[in-house]
Amino acid sequence: MNSTVIIHTENRDQENALKAFAKALHIKFEVAKGNPYDPEFVDKILKGDQDIAEGKGVKMTVKEFKALCKLS
């Protein structure tokens, strides 16, 4: 069985403890640095969430949405 487990550490001590644990059990691991998402993409999503919270969103029915998609 092969699986991937993603653990989000909050500090260096937690990261070091998990590394030591994995090494002791001969578990392969890698540490990803930074955010895997493009910062520009994240900003767009956050801006959209903010717009919706401020009532700037557009409401439409599924039928209206499908009709809009057919125009493309």
Residue 21 phi/psi, 5-degree rounding, is -60, -50
Give the rounded percent of residues in the chain with a pLDDT score beyond 70: 99
pLDDT tens digits for range 1-14: 788 888 989 999 99
| Per-domain residue ranges of the chain | 12-70
Q: What mean pLDDT is predicted for residues 11-24?
A: 96
Residue 32 has pLDDT above 90, yes or no: no
| Confidence tier at 72 by pLDDT (50, 70, 90) | low
pTM of the model: 0.46
Nearest CA to 54 among 62, 42, 43, 46? 46
Burial 41-70 (b: 16+ CB within 10 A, else e): eeeeeeeeeeeeeeeeeeeeeeeeeeeeee
Give the count of beta carbons closer than 10 Å to the beta carbon of residue 33: 5
Token pair 């599924």 in the structure block, residue: 62
